[in-house]
Structure 1
Amino acid sequence: MGYLESASSLPALPDSRLDRLLRKINEETNLPTLGIAIAKVVEITSSCEDSVAQLAHFVLSDVGLTQKILRLSNTVQYRTSSTAAVTTISRSIFLLGFNTVKTSAMAMLLVDFFKDKTQAVSVRKELVRSLCASIIGREMSQKGRFQNSEEAAIAALFKNVGRVLVASYDHLLYTQIERICDATESSYVDAAQMLLGCSFERFGEMALQSWNIPDAIVQAIAPLPNGDLQKTPLRNDWLKQVASFSDALAEIVMIGQHNAPGRIDAILQKYGQVLEIDKKALSTMLVKIEAETRQFAKSMNIMLPHGLSDTEQLKNSSGVPSEFLLKTIDPIPEQNANRYASGKPYNARDLLLAGMQDVTQMLASEDLQLNDLILLVLETLYSSMGFRFATVCLRDVTSGRYTSRIAVGENYASRQKGFNFTVKSEADLFHLAMSNNVDVMISDASVPKIRNLLPLWYQEILPDAGSFMILPLVVQKKPLGFFYADRAVAEEDGVSAEETTMIKTLKSQLLTAMMRGTKIAAHV
C-alpha cells in the first residue's frame, strides 16, 4: 500500500481547514501590516517622477530594512571598485538600481516577518527559494521583450508565497504534504489538493488578493496551462511564464545542480524557446544567480549550503542543517556608531566623507538626475549628523513661493506641507540667510534673539525644534532654495570645523550640478 493510499485512511481532516487557515492568516495581528507594506512598495513605480524619493522614504522609515538594504549594497556582489562603504539608501538605489531595491525590500519584509517562527528551518528554506526566484525574475525582466517588466521579479518573489504561509501558520500540514511527496511520486499539487483543499499557488493567490496586490501580479502566480507552452504576445501571460520558470530554477539552486541531474535540460525544454534562452545563457545566469542569492541571503543573516553532498556535513550538534541557521554578520560600522545626547553620531565626519564620495560618483554618471542628487545630499546630511527631520525647499517661479520638494525623517509628510512660504523678502531668518547667502547653524533655538527671527509658519509646524541648520542654495546671486534640518534638542556637541567644511562641500557639489543646468528648469 502506497503512502498516498494510507494517508487517505487517516482520520479525515475538517473540511474547513482551508477556510480556517485563511482566517488565521487574516486575523494575525501583524500580517495586515505586512500586506499593507508590501502593497505600498508595489505601488511605487519607476514611472513616477519622485519614485526614488518615495522608495527612499519607505526604506528609511524602517530602521531594520534600512540596515539590510545597506548591507546588501556593501556586499562583494554589488560594491564598486571604490573602497568607500555605501552609507545612504539614495546611493544604494543608484548603485543597485531602483527595481532591485524595490524587490529586495519586499523580500526582506517577508523574511523579517516570518523568520522568528518556531518552524524556522522550513520557513527560511521557502523564503530563500522565494528571494532566489525574485533574482531570476529580475534577470529575465532585463532580457525580456516587454518594456517596464520589473513586475516579473515581484511575481517570481510571490510565486512561492503559498508555501511560505502554510509553513508559517500550519507547520503540521506543511510537513504532512512534504512527507507524502517524499514517500510517493505524488506532486505537491496533488498532495496540497488532498490535504489543504487547493494548490499552494491557489492559496498564495487568495492571500495576495486579501493584501490588495494588483491583479496582474496575482494572476502571474497562477499555474500554467497544461500542454506545451507557446510564445505569447501578451505581457500578462509572459509574466506567468517567467514566474513559473523562476520558481522552478530557484528550486534547482536550492538543492544544488549536482543533485538535480536532468532537471536543467527539462527546464530548457519547457521554457527555452518561449523565453528565448539557451543552455549557454542559462548556465551563465545560474552562476550569477547562485552567487547573488548567497549575498542576498547573507545580508539577511540566512546562510545557504556550500554545495556539500554529504548531508551530515551540513548539520551541527543540534541536528539542524547549518545552511538555515542564522549567522551573525558584523553590522556596517558607519550605521551603528555611538551617538551624542543630541543624536549626532560620533563618526559624523566619516559619514559625511562617505557621502561626499557618493555625490562625486553620482556627478560623474551620465544618468545623473537632479532629484536623485538632491535626495542623496539631503539623506547624507540627515543620517550623518543625526537630524530628526530634514527637507530641501526650492523656488517655484510660477507661484512665487518656496516649497518643500523632498523631505526625510520624523513625520516628514506633514512637516513637508508646512514648508511653503512666499519668496517676497521678509525680516525672518530664512529670507535673511538666502538674501545674504549665509549658512546658518543654530545650536539652541530657544534663545530669544533667534526665536524673534523665526516666522510664524515655522513656529506652527516645528514649535519644538531645539537646534537647526539652514543652507541656502544660491546660483549667480539668485536664491533657488535651501536645505533645512533640525533636532528636538539643543546641539551642545556643536559642529566641528572639519564637519562644517564637509557640509559646505556637499552643498557646493549640488550647486555645481545646478549650474550645469541639470534639469534645473523643471524645478525652479
Structure 2
Amino acid sequence: MKAVPLSPSAPDEIPDAVATDRRRVRAALLNKVCGDEDMFALGSSVARVVQMASSDDEGTHALAYYVLSDVALTQRILRLANTVKYRTASGTAVTTISRAISLLGFDNVKTTALAMLLVDALASSDHAWSVRLELEASLCASLVGREMARHSFYQGAEEASIGALFKNLGPLLVASHEHERYREIGLLVASGKHKLGQAAQMILGCSYDALSEAVLGEWKIPDVIMRAQRPLPEGSLKVALNRGEWMRQVASFSLDVARLLAKSGEPSGTLDARALLERYGHALNIDGTQLDELFDVVAREMSGLLQSMNLEPVPRRQESDGDGLPNVLLLATLGTSDAEQGSYPSGKPRNARELLLAGVQDVTQMRASGQHQLNEVILAVLETLYTAMGFRFATVVLKDARRDQYRARVSFGADKSATQAGFAFPAAPGTAAGRDLFFLAMANNADLMISDAASPKIRDLLPAWHRQLLPDAKSFIVLPLVVGQAQLGLFYADRTQAAPEGVPPDETSLIKALKGQVLAALAP
C-alpha cells in the first residue's frame, strides 16, 4: 500500500526557505518514526493484530495465540478479564486467554492488545508526562469508539474503536520522538491564536491527522482505518452516508470526548459537553442523557484498563520546602537546548515559556487525575510561577473571613517565613485604598505585570505595608483570584531587579492558564 503523502503548506503562503525547512522536518519525522527499528517492529505487530479477522474460529485462535506469545500481554488481558466489570457472576477467576476473549469479546481484546502495544513501545519515553498524556487520550478514545460501535447498525462497526485509538497517533509519536516540536506546537495552541491543526502545520509542515494517516499507510493498515484519521468539516455534522464516513465522525468524536474527560472529570452539562452535542449529536444520534451515560461508562472503563495495564501514576513533582528548586532536574529532561538556558539580568529564565508550559501540563494532568486537593493545585501553580519566571519571592494570598483580612497562606523564596507573616492587609479597603494597586487589581480582575516598580506612578499606587515589607521589590506580578463577584485573593511574586524584557503574549497566555486551573478548583 502506498503511503499517504503529508500535505505540504501552500508555497505562496510562506517563504521558500521556511517551506523547505518544514519539508525537511516532516520528512525527517516520518523517516524517524517509520525507519526506527523499534517503530518498525511496532508497525509490524500493529498490522498483524489489525488484520486478524473476527468472522470465524480461526481468527479467535490466531488472536489467542498472539496474546499467549507475549507473557506481559497475557497477564494484562487476564487482569482485565478479572476486573469487577467482567468477572463472572460465580466469581470464578478467568485463567485462559480463550475464556478472556469469550468474556471480553474478540474486538475488545484486539483493540486492547493494540493499545498495549502502543503503551509498551512508548510509555518508557524520556518525556513521560507528555507521552503519558497522549497515551491516555488514545486509550480513552478507543473506549469511546467501542461504545459507539456497540450501538451502530453498520457491519464491522467494531473497527471504529481501532480508528479512534489511532486518531491521536500523530501527537503521541511527536511527543515521544520529537518532543521539542511537540512543545512548540503546544505553545502555539496555548497562545490562543492557533488551533491544533494549524499549529502542527506551522511546526511540522503537516497536520497531526495527516501524520497519523501517513504512518498508518507505512504500517499497511487497511484504508478504512487510515481514512478515519482525516479531519472533518467545521460546525454541526450531517448523518454519515456510509460506514467510512461514520468511522471518521466516531474517531473525531472519540478523541474530543477523551480530551474533555481529561480536562474535567465530570464534564456533564458543561459548555464543552454542549458544544460536543451541537457538533456531533445529530450525526451520531446521541442526546444529552446518552452523552452523560457515555461519560460515566468510559470513565469506569478507563480506570479498569489502566489498572489492567499496571500503569503507575505519572510521578508528581516533589513538594518543596520553599528553599530549593525541585523542578530543575525534571525540567532538564524536557530537551531545553544550551542556547535557551541562562537568565535575563532580572533573574527571569530565558526559557520561561518552556518552563511555564511544563507547569501547565503538570497541573492539567494533576486535575484530570481527579486525585488532588485544592492546596496541591495551588502549590503546583505557585511553584511553577516561582521557578519558571525566576522570582525572588512568590506567595498566594487568600481572604481570611475570621480576621477580616487578606493574608499570605503559602510561599516560596528568600526569607519566606518572615515575609509571609508580614504579607497581610485589611479585607475592606480604607479611605486611602481607592488607589491601592492590590485592591484595584482585584476590583477590576486585572492581571498586573509590573516591569519597573520604581516608576513614580507605580510607587504612588503601592500601599505603605508593601513598601515597608518589600522595599527592594523592583518588578512583580499580581494575579487576582476572582470567582463571580467574589474576590478570593491573589497570587503575588516579585524580583529585586527591574524586568524590561517584560512578559510576551505566549507567556501571558500560559500564566493565565495556570491561574485558570486554580480558579476552576476554587469554583463551587
Report TM bin, short chain.
0.5 to 0.7
Within 5 A, what are the aligned runs for 1:85-484?
85-258=93-266, 261-302=270-311, 303=313, 305-306=369-370, 308=372, 310=374, 312=376
Confirm or deny: 8 A CA contact 1:256 1:307 kept in the other structure.
Answer: no
Provide closer, same or farther for how the CA distance between residues 143 and 315 of structure 1 changes in structure 2, counting only shifts above 3 A. farther
Distance in 1 (alpha carbons) for counterparts of 2:94 and 2:265: 33
Q: Summarize the Cα distance change of 1:54–1:311 in structure 2 as closer, same or farther, 3 Å threshold.
A: farther
**Which AA in structure 2 matches 1:236?**
G
Name the count of aligned residue pairs: 311
Partners of 1:38 and 1:310 lie apart in 2 by 41
Whole-Å separation in 2 of the counterparts to 1:42 and 1:293: 21
- Would you identify which runs of 4 or more consecutive aligned residues in structure 1 move more than 3 Å? 257-261, 307-311, 313-316
Q: Distance in 2 between matches of 1:21 and 1:183?
A: 25
Partner of 1:508: none
d(CA) in 1 for partners of 2:308, 2:232? 33
Q: Does residue 67 of the first structure (1) align with residue 67 of the second (2)?
A: no
Rounded to whole Å, the distance in 2 between the matches of 1:79 and 1:314 is 40
Q: Distance in 1 between matches of 2:203 and 2:166?
A: 22
Cα deviations by residue, 1:226-253 (Å, 9 ceiling, x for unpaired): 4431112311001101111111001111
**Contact conserved, 2:236 with 2:280, CA < 8 A, in 1?**
no
The equivalent residue for 2:438 is none
Q: CA deviation at 1:315?
A: 8.9
Cα distance, 1:116 vs. partner? 0.6
TM-fit CA distance, 1:308: 3.9
Residue 181 of structure 1 and its aligned partner are, at CA, apart by 1.1
Which moved further from structure 2: 83-92 or 73-82?
73-82
Residue type of the partner of 1:296? L
- Report deviation, 1:311: 8.0
1:315–1:108 CA distance, 2 compared to 1 (3 A):
farther
- TM-score for both structures, normalised by structure 2: 0.56
Q: Is the 8 A contact 1:65 1:108 kept in 2?
A: yes
Structure 1 residue 313: Cα displacement? 5.1
Aligned AA (1:14): D
Distance 1:91 1:315 in 2: 48
Indicate how the Cα distance of structure 1 residues 314 and 40 shifts in structure 2: closer, same or farther if over 3 A, else same: farther
Change (3 A) 1:123 1:144: same
Indicate the residue corresponding to 2:37 in structure 1.
29
Q: Distance in 2 between matches of 1:148 and 1:159?
A: 18
Residue type matched to 1:214 in 2?
P
Q: Could you tell me which residue of structure 2 aligns to residue 476 of structure 1?
A: none
Look up the equivalent residue of 1:312 and give its one-letter code: E
Which residue number in structure 1 is paired with residue 52 of structure 2?
A: 44
| Residue identity in the other structure for 1:204 | S
CA distance in 1, matches of 2:379, 2:40: 36
CA distance in 1 between partners of 2:140 and 2:85 (Å): 15
Name the structure 2 match of 1:14.
21
- Is contact 2:236–2:278 with CA below 8 Å preserved after alignment? no
Partners of 2:248 and 2:373 in 1: how far apart?
33
The structure-2 alpha-carbon separation of the partners of 1:281 and 1:67, relative to structure 1 and needing over 3 Å to count, comes to same
CA contact (8 A) 2:80 2:304 kept: yes
RMSD over aligned Cα atoms: 2.5
The range that moved more, 146-155 or 100-109, is 146-155
More displaced stretch, 129-138 vs 43-52: 43-52
One-letter code aligned to 1:193: Q
Quick one: which amino acid aligns to residue 299 of structure 2? E
The answer to whether the 8 A contact 1:305-1:314 is kept is no
Change (3 A) 1:156 1:180: same
Offset of residue 144 of structure 1: 1.1
